[in-house]
Amino acid sequence: MSTTPIADYALLSDRHSSALVGRDGSIDWLCFPRFDSPSIFGRLLDDEAGHWSIRATSATQVTRRYLDRTMVLETTFATPTGTVAITDALAMGDGNRGHALGQGAPHLLLRSATCLDGEVEVSLEYVPRPEYGLVHPLFDAVDGGVTAFGGADVLVLSSPIALTVDRSGVSGKLQLRRGETAGFALHHRQRAETGTAKVWSQSEIGARLSDTVSAWESWSELHQAYVGPWRDLVHHSGRVLQSLSFAPTGAICAAATTSLPEVEGGTRNWDYRYAWVRDASFTIEALWVAACPDEANEFFDYVTTSAAGSLDGGGDLQIMFGIGGERDLSERELPHLEGWRHSTPVRVGNGAWNQRQLDVYGELLSAVNRLSDHVFDNTSRVGPTASPDKWGAPPDLAPVTKRFFVQLAETAGRRWQEKDQGLWEVRGEPRDFLYSKLICWVALDRAVALADPLHASDQVEGWKQTQAQIREAILTKGWSDRANAFTQSFGSDDLDASNLMLSLVGFLPADEPKVLATIDATEERLTDARGLVYRYRSHDGLEGEEGTFLMCTFWLAQALAQAGQTARARAVFERAVAFVNDVGLLAEEAGAVSGELLGNFPQAFSHIGLVNAAWAISQTEQPQDPPAANGNAASGPADPADSSSA
C-alpha cells in the first residue's frame, strides 16, 4: 500500500507527460509518452507498480526547490559525511525556447547527482512496471546502462556505473566526493514507433539538463509579467499550468494523476488526465494573468476544435475530451492496484464524459468573448489558431466556426430549462442546478456581445428575451428566504459554492444585497473550522465524504475582492495558500480532519483559482494594466459585467 503523503510529491513535465518525485528521491509516477498513457512507475497507487529512486543512503535532512523560473527540481540530501543534490527533469526538445517549449520532447527523464561537500554514498533502485504494474519487463545489461523490454514499451536506463540486474529490477551504489557529478537518464520508446531508445553519455545528459533549464527560463522570461501580491505564487502557478498542458494540442489536463482520493480510503477516485470544457473560461483568464495570451489561444483552439461538430444532429456538447481531442473516455477499473492508502477502486477513463451538463455552452462562449480581440483579428492570432487553414478570409472566422459558436447560444437558449448533472458531475438524478441555468444565461449574454462578428444580429432580440426568462427563474426559484442565499438547485435550501459565480460572471453586481448574503452564508455555513470552502454538503448520489475544495475557497476570495471587501478576501486567500506544499503545488482538496492535501495532484483548477483570486485582489488594491507578453500592452481578463445585456 502506498502511504507517502500527496504533498510530499513534486511535478516534472515535458508538456507531453509527467512524473511525480517524492521527498525521498523516488519517482513513483511516470506516464510515457502522454499524460494519459499507462504508467511506467505507479508506486503512487500500489507498492508493486514500479518506481525509480536515487537518494543519499544516510540522509538526515532533505530540502528541495525548483530551480528559479523552471520546473526543474533540485532535492538536497544532507548526511553525516556530506551533502548531495539530485536534479530531476523531463527533457525538453533540443533548443526549445519561448513558445516552442515542449516541441520535439524526446521522452527522456534526466537525473543528476552532484556532491556539494564531503563525501556521500548514493543508492539507486530502478523497478519499472509498465501498464500500471501489469508488465514485469526483462532486463539486459548493455554498455553504459540497462535495457528493459516487455509489453508495448522499450526503456533504456543510462548510468555511469555498473548496475546489478536481477529478475525484479536494477540497483547500484556509488561514492561521490565534493564536485563530482553522476548523470542518469531513462529513455522511452514504444515498440510500434519509429526510432529507438538509446544510451546517453554523461556529456549528453549534462547538456540536455542544462538546455532544459534554459528552455524553462526562456519561457518564463517571455511570458510572466504579473506584478502584484503573491507574485511568486502566481508565476509558479503559471508554470504549473504550462506543465499540465499537452504541447501537441494545447490541452490542459485537470491534473497529472488518476485515482488520488477525495477522502483517504474512499471510493471517490477519478481519472483527471483529461481536459474539461467547463474549465475553459477560468483557464483562459488565469493563463492571461500568469502566462500570456499565446497559451490562452492554444487552449481555446484545442477546446473549440475538439468540440466541433458536437451539436450537429441535435446532440449535446461533450463536457470533456482526451488531451489529443479524443471523445470516448470510457471508464474502467484496475482491480490489481491497491490504491493510495487503500483508496479503491483505481480508475482509468472518466465516466462523466457522456453526462449532460448545460453549463458547457456558456463556458465556451465566455472563453470566445474573453479572447475576442484575438479570435476575430487575424493579426493578433498566435499558436495553432494562426494556421491559415483554420480561418476564412481575414479577419473573419471560418463560416463553420461561426456557425458552431452560434449553435452554442441556440442550444443554451433551447435547453436551459432541462435538468442536468451540474458542474460537479453528480452521479444521482438530474436536477435544476442554479449554476447550469446561470451559465446558460452567460452563453446568451456573450453571444449578444459577439453577435456582429458572428453575423448573428438577427438573433439578438430572441437571445435577450430568453436571457430575461432565465434571469427571472434564477431570481425567483434560485433564492431561498430560509437559507437567505441563492441555493444549489431550484426549490432547494442547500448551499453550493458555485453560486459565488453570480457576481463573477456579471449576472448581478458584486455588492448586490443578495450576492453579499450568499457570500456570507457560504463563509458561515459552507466552510470547515479552518475557513476552507466545501463545494456543497448535500447528498450527491455517491458514497463517502469529501474534503474542502481549494478552488472554491479561492472563488470566495475572488467574490469578496470584487465586492470591495479586500481584507476579508486577503484572509480567505491566505487560508487557502497555506496548503501549498514546499515546492508550491496544490491538490484538489484539503482533508477535513487531517489537513492533508487530497485528490489528484497537482490540480490545475486549484492553481487557476489562486491566479484569478490574486488578480482580483490586486485590482481592488492597486488597479494595474494587465500583464502582457514581451512587455507589450494587451487587454487582460475581461470584466464579465462589461458584456452584461440583460
Q: What is the mean pLDDT of residues 70-88?
A: 98
Which three cell numbers, joined as nine digits, stand for 43? Answer: 508506486
d(C-alpha 447, C-alpha 406), whole Å: 7
Give a yes or no: residue 557 inside a domain.
yes
The average pLDDT across 432-453 equals: 96
Q: Domain ends where: 220, 246, 266?
A: 220
- Where residue 293 sits, what CATH number does that domain have? 1.50.10.10
Position 393 confidence tier, pLDDT thresholds 50, 70, 90: very low
Write the DSSP string, 302-322: HHHHHHTTTTGGG-PPPSEE-
Using the predicted structure, report yes or no on whether residue 442 has a pLDDT greater than 90: yes
- Please report, as a single letter, which amino acid is at residue 223: H
Please determine, for residue 371, whether its predicted confidence score (pLDDT) is greater than 60: yes
Name beta bridge partners: 86. Answer: 75, 113
Assess if residue 334 is contained within a domain.
yes
Do 523 and 583 sit in the same domain of this protein? yes
The whole-number average pLDDT for the span 340-355 is 94
Residue 497: the pLDDT is: 97
Asked if the structure places residue 1 within a domain, the reply is: no
Non-local CB neighbours of 405 within 8 Å, separated by 6+ positions: 365, 368, 397, 447, 450, 454
- Dump pLDDT digits (tens) for 121-136: 999 999 999 999 999 9
396: pLDDT strictly greater than 90: no
Q: Do 229 and 208 have their domain in common?
A: no
Give the structural domain span for 38: 6-220
* Whether residues 277 and 213 fall in one domain: no
In order of 433, 512, 615, the CA distances from 630 in angstroms are 42, 39, 19
In a domain, 456, yes or no: yes
Integer-rounded Cα radius of gyration of the chain: 25
Domain contains 463 = yes
| pLDDT over threshold 80, residue 488 | yes
State residue 517's pLDDT score. Answer: 98
Segment 565-586, tens digit of pLDDT: 999 999 999 999 999 999 999 9
**Does residue 375 surpass a pLDDT of 80?**
no
Does residue 501 register a pLDDT over 70? yes
* Confidence band of 426 (pLDDT split at 50, 70, 90): confident
Q: Is the domain of 178 the same as that of 231?
A: no
CA distance 247 to 243: 9
Task: Work out the burial of residue 481: count CB atoms within 10 Å of its CB; fewer than 13 is exposed, 13-18 middle, 19 or more buried.
Answer: exposed
Show contacts of 31-37: CB within 8 Å, 24+ apart.
Answer: 31/273, 32/107, 32/153, 32/188, 33/107, 33/188, 33/190, 34/246, 34/323, 34/324, 35/244, 35/246, 35/253, 35/256, 35/273, 35/323, 36/253, 36/271, 36/273, 36/274, 36/322, 36/323
Q: What is the mean pLDDT of the chain?
A: 90
475 and 426, same domain (yes or no): yes
Contact 339, 259 (CB under 8 A): yes
Q: Are residues 128 and 164 in the same domain?
A: yes
pLDDT of residue 538: 79
Q: Are residues 530 and 568 in the same domain?
A: yes
Q: Is residue 278 part of a domain?
A: yes
264 in the same domain as 134: no
Within-domain flag for 317: yes
pLDDT in tens, 25-65: 999 999 999 999 999 999 999 999 999 999 999 999 999 99
Q: Check which CATH number belongs to the domain holding 22 and give it.
A: 2.70.98.50
Domain match, 107 and 233 both: no
Angle between helices 566-577 and 604-621 (to 10 degrees): 150
Residues 182 and 263 in one domain: no
The pTM assigned to this predicted structure is: 0.93
The fraction of the chain above a pLDDT of 70, given in percent, is 91
Would the CA dihedral through 44, 49, 52, 55 be positive or negative?
positive
User: Closest Cα partner for 251 from 386, 102, 406?
Assistant: 102
Contacts for 414 with CB less than 8 Å, ≥ 6 apart: none
Using an 8 Å Cβ cutoff, are 209 and 589 in contact? no
What is the predicted pLDDT for the residue at 542? Answer: 59
Cell reading at 28: 513513483
CA distance 154 to 10: 25
Residue 630 has pLDDT above 60, yes or no: no
What count of Cα atoms within 13 Å lies in the side-chain half-sphere of residue 21? 28
pLDDT grade for 428, boundaries at 50, 70 and 90: confident
Res. 425 pLDDT band, cuts 50 70 90 = confident
Lowest mean pLDDT among 49-63, 407-421, 537-551, 580-594: 537-551
**pLDDT (tens digit per residue) in 167-186:** 899 999 999 999 999 999 99
Taking residues 257-264, report their average pLDDT.
94
Closest CA to 423 of 538, 324, 276: 276
Mean of the pLDDT values across residues 297-310? 83
Determine, yes or no, domain membership for 127: yes
Query: Do 272 and 253 contact (CB within 8 A), yes or no?
Result: yes
Whether residue 632 is predicted with pLDDT greater than 90 in this model: the reply is no
pLDDT of residue 378: 57
Clarify whether residues 135 and 237 are in a common domain.
Answer: no
What's the pLDDT at 303?
86
Domain count, the chain: 2
Q: What is the pLDDT of residue 635?
A: 35
Report whether pLDDT(395) > 70.
no
What local confidence, expressed as pLDDT, does residue 391 receive? Answer: 44
Choosing from 167, 194, 220, the residue where a domain stops is 220
Q: Which of 185, 220, 255 is the last residue of a domain?
A: 220
Strand partners, 340: 2
Mean pLDDT of 323-331: 95
pLDDT at site 529? 92
Same domain, 228 and 216: no
CA–CA gap between residue 366 and residue 605 (Å, rounded): 17
